[in-house]
Amino acid sequence: MKLLPPSVNFDALKTHVMSAMESATRHAVMNCRDLIGGDCRNHFEPLMKLFDSLLVIGLFDDSELEALLRMIHPAAFDPDYEPGTMKKGLTEIELDEHVKIQLVNILDHLCDTQVIFCG
């Protein structure tokens, strides 16, 4: 008997992770708390770990990476950004230390992939 890995619909997973990241970022600006009394760490840390894993295996295209950069710092990466709006990025809101570490991991791997493809 041969064991096979389970089939995973990576496109659906990638779409879900992107929409969940956008939603979590949008709600974090309002200093959200989840129903059981947690904080944004509960929203972001697992999403960012999964996003980072999908990034490392190369599933994201340029438009999705641009969306990520807009989530991280819209003032720098969103051409439609208007100063003085409530739109904030992950670098502009108060985040738990664990979430910051995950964000640094994503940025590190993003730089690695850019060096590989550009170099």
Q: Is residue 46 part of a domain?
A: yes
Look at the chain and report how many structural domains it folds into.
1
Comparing C-alpha atoms, which of 51, 88, 85, 86 is closest to residue 77?
A: 88
Q: What is the predicted pLDDT for the residue at 117?
A: 67
CB 91, CB 38: distance < 8 Å = no
**Structural domain containing residue 95:** 10-118
Amino acid at 73: H
Q: What is the Cα Rg of the chain in Å?
A: 16
CB 17, CB 50: distance < 8 Å = yes
CB 44, CB 24: distance < 8 Å = yes
Q: How confident is the prediction along the chain (119 residues), in pLDDT tens digits per residue?
A: 788 777 889 999 999 999 999 988 887 766 555 545 556 777 789 999 999 999 999 999 999 999 999 999 988 898 888 887 777 888 888 888 999 999 999 999 999 887 776 65
Tell me the whole-structure pTM to 2 decimals: 0.81
Q: Is residue 3 part of a domain?
A: no
Q: Is residue 51 part of a domain?
A: yes
